Structure 1
Amino acid sequence: MAPVDPRSPASARRRDRRGRGPRGPLAWPAVPAMRSRRETFDDVVIDVAERAREYLGNRYAAVEFAVEEVPPTDPAPWEEQAAPVGRLVPVGGAVGHRIVVYRRPVEARARDAGEVSVIVREVVAEQVAALLGVPTSEIDL
């Protein structure tokens, strides 16, 4: 059998360039290490949004929940000039309203993953309360 040229494509499929063999993933998909911060944050928002549906009822069944990385650069005049962590966006037509949670400002304010979920619950509760016209203390997510 003839020796295989290390620069050939056949050699590259069998082992890496230093001859240590094929390399696999560092963690398997079932391990939480394979989930990105974005996916984890999305799961938190989905969980809180499902709990918020109880308060919204049939009247506001068309409310959408969304996650964006950062808020737009031009906050509305009635909003704080600091980076908002969430926003209630009225959308015309049959769509209804949209509650947007901004991932990066929430993560910047949180110290750990547990605090991220607390902040997300507070943000969604504030936006649902604003939509329903009730005090935030009446919304318990």
Structure 2
Amino acid sequence: MARFLYRCPLRWADMDAFGHVNNVVFLRYLEEARIDFMFRLAPGDGSASFSGGSVVARHEIDYKLPLVHRYEPVPIELWVTEVKAASLTVAYEVKDMATAELPERVYVRASTVVVPYDLQAQRPRRITAEERFFLQKYMDDE
């Protein structure tokens, strides 16, 4: 399984009164990673895949460790756990990768159910064959 990697910059305003990234801000981080994955990396040059719109149907988030402000971006790994006819589930880990000096540190594990949406018709739409092919590259093997 391939995982998409997004490097999310931290902003000073992301911190709360306790000196760590506020819990609500993590949803923004996940959104940035998901948007980068679905829109910038949509299949094909000039493809309209995913650009017609989508809505979030559900978020689930587990906070594991506090993340304090720093100047280097925090890595977010993203992959697909489920693709249905008219929805997909994206999983994430906001974490620092293991190094020779430090073990891996996972700050957040989360998932989002996304529904492709036809903005003109104001209703959900089915996932296209092109989108499904793109998503399969990031599908969880388990």
Above 0.5 in TM-score? no
Structure with higher helix content? 1
Structure whose alpha-carbon radius of gyration is higher: 1
Structure with higher strand content? 2
Q: TM-score scaled to structure 1, two decimals?
A: 0.32
Q: TM-score scaled to structure 2, two decimals?
A: 0.32
